[in-house]
Amino acid sequence: MVQKEFSFGSKPRMKEVPAGTEAVFSFNKNTEPVIIETEKYGEKYSFSINLISHPSYPLLDGTEFKGGETQTMTMDWESKAQCAKQLYDDYHQNKLISDNAYHKALLKAYAEEKWRLTRFDSGEYWLDCYRRKD
C-alpha cells in the first residue's frame, strides 16, 4: 500500500445540478456534515460525497460494473438548499437520543444508501434516498 506523505490542493466541489435534472451520490460514511463559510455565499452545508451520476459529469453515468460497483468521484456537496439544511439538522440534532429509531434509520441510510438530488424547473431541490432492491 502506498502512503501519501504530502498532498496539496482543494477537494472538488460538486457543480450545481441544472434545472430539470438530477444527480445521484452516496455520502462518505467516514465524515459528518459540517457548516462552512464561503466568501461569496456565506454559510453553506457541506457533505463529503461519492458522486455517481450528474449531467455536468458525462463520464459518471451511474453504470454498475461487475460486482455491483459504480465509478464515482469523491467531492463535496455544498449547498444552502432547504433539503441540505434539513438533512444537516436531522443528522446532528438527534444524536444524543439513544433510542431514536428515526435517527438510527437516517444514519444507516446516510452511510449505506444512494441518494438522489433533484432540481425542479422552478429551481428548488429535493433530496431522497432510494434503496436498492435486494
Sequence ranges of the domains in the chain: 21-129
- Dump pLDDT digits (tens) for 18-28: 999 999 999 99
The pLDDT-based confidence of 99 (bands split at 50, 70, 90) is confident
What the block records as the C-alpha cell of 60 is: 459518471
Q: What is the DSSP letter of 13?
A: B
Query: Which pairs with CB-CB distance under 8 Å and at least 24 residues apart come from 125-133?
Result: 125/17, 125/79, 125/81, 125/82, 125/83, 125/84, 126/83, 127/81, 127/83, 127/84, 127/87
User: Full-prediction pTM beyond 0.95?
Assistant: no
Please tell me the distance from the alpha carbon of residue 105 to that of residue 121, in angstroms, as a whole number. Answer: 31
The pLDDT-based confidence of 8 (bands split at 50, 70, 90) is confident
Please tell me the distance from the alpha carbon of residue 5 to that of residue 60, in angstroms, as a whole number. Answer: 29
What the block records as the C-alpha cell of 13 is: 466541489
- Dump pLDDT digits (tens) for 123-133: 999 999 976 55
